[in-house]
């Protein structure tokens, strides 16, 4: 949709999972761990992504094919493609070549990039929060203060990072949202003001998002919570919705 105009179909994509606008066109991640690019009204497969040597090692715990789960880009135009389960692939040349960055078995669920610092953050299922200051060459892992190290979502609200953490992948997992100031020695702080003590099930990839100091997240129970102060305090913005699959603030 162009502002001021109605929605119009542009192109068809089989089982899209995530989108990323770039200078080289709109990137589209899909089921089966594929990557396509929309140029004009044409969808073109990113063939170099199909030729990644490590593709044969990608997997899912339930035995199905891996998916392209999330996409991110830094100010230099470097792309990060999160495959579940396949780690994070990096391209510095608009998809002409790719380099694996993080160990596949860290089970990455979402990748984001701090646009100011270029720091890469990844919510993982095996090692809590992964952080890289060198475009994925090396990583550190942070879990201090979390009640569980299974992370599904991550976002940045100014200089505050927020994650969703739980005790595991099941529907009965105990979940919460946490705040953390990157670079500080303080542990993660659980967000409690205006929120239930715990959520049942995971706050999923794409369901936690920030724009400036405003943060929102949605739950599988059909609730949306909103914060205007970087996650310090919250209010219930919507209830009785179908299960929330994506939240986006602009």
User: Maximum distance among all alpha carbons in the chain?
Assistant: 49
Task: Check whether the bond before 85 is cis (ω within 30° of 0).
Answer: yes
Structure confidence at residue 190 (pLDDT): 98
Is pLDDT at 36 greater than 90 in this prediction? yes
| Distant-in-sequence, close-in-space partners of 24: CB < 8 Å, separation ≥ 6 | 37, 94, 95
Q: What are 56-105's pLDDT values in tens digits?
A: 999 999 999 999 999 999 999 999 999 999 999 999 999 999 999 999 99
Q: What are 109-148's pLDDT values in tens digits?
A: 999 999 889 999 999 999 999 999 999 999 999 999 999 9
Query: Dihedral of CA 202/205/206/212: which sign?
Result: positive
- The confidence band for 1, taking pLDDT boundaries of 50, 70 and 90, is confident
pLDDT over 70 percentage in the chain: 100
Structure confidence at residue 56 (pLDDT): 95
Structure confidence at residue 115 (pLDDT): 85
Query: Domain map of the chain by residue range?
Result: 67-238
> What is the 3-class SS of the chain, one letter each residue?
CCCCCCCCCCCCCCCEEEEEEECCEEEEEECCCEEEEEECCEEEECHHHHCCHHHHHCCCCCCCCCEEEEEEECCCCCEEEEEECCEEEEECCCCCCCEECCCHHHCEEEEEECCCCCCEEEEECCCCEEEECCCCCCCEEECCCCCCCEEEEEEEECCEEEEEEECCCCCCCEEEEEEECCCCCCCCEECCCCCCCCEECCCCCCCEEEECCEEEEECCCCCEEEECCCCCCCEEEECCCCCCCCCCCC
User: Residues 110, 102: contact at Cβ < 8 Å?
Assistant: no
Mean residue pLDDT of the chain comes to 96
Q: What are 180-232's pLDDT values in tens digits?
A: 999 899 999 999 999 999 999 999 999 999 999 999 999 999 999 999 999 99
- The confidence band for 39, taking pLDDT boundaries of 50, 70 and 90, is confident
Residue of 216, 219, 209, 214 lying closest to 237 (CA atoms): 216
d(CA 224, CA 48) in angstroms, rounded, equals 39
Structure confidence at residue 40 (pLDDT): 85
Strands 224-227 and 87-91: unpaired
CATH architecture for segment(s) 67-238: 7 Propeller (2.130)
- The confidence band for 41, taking pLDDT boundaries of 50, 70 and 90, is confident
């Amino acid at each position: 949709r162009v502002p001021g105009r109605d929605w119009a179909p542009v192109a068809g994509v089989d089982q899209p999972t995530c989108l990323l606008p770039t200078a080289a066109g709109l990137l589209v991640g899909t089921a089966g761990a594929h990557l396509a690019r929309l140029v004009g009204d044409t969808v073109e497969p990113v063939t170099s992504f199909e030729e990644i040597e490590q593709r044969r090692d990608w997997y899912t715990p339930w035995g199905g094919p891996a998916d392209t789960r999330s996409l991110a880009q830094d100010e230099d135009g470097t792309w990060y493609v999160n495959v579940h389960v396949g780690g994070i692939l990096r391209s510095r040349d608009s998809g002409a070549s790719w380099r694996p960055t993080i160990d596949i078995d860290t089970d990455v669920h979402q990748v984001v990039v701090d646009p100011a610092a270029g720091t890469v953050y990844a919510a993982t299922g095996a090692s809590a929060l992964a952080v890289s200051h060198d475009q994925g060459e090396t990583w550190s892992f942070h879990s201090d203060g979390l009640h569980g190290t299974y992370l599904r979502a991550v976002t940045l609200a100014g200089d505050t990072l927020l994650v969703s953490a739980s005790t595991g992948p099941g529907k009965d997992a105990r979940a919460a949202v946490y705040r953390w100031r990157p670079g500080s020695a303080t542990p993660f702080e659980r967000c409690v003001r205006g929120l239930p003590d715990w959520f049942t099930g995971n706050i999923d990839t794409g369901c936690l998002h920030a724009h400036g100091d405003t943060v929102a997240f949605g739950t599988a129970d059909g609730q949306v919570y909103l914060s205007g102060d970087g996650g310090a305090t919250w209010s219930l913005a919507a209830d009785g919705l179908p299960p929330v699959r994506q939240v986006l603030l602009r």
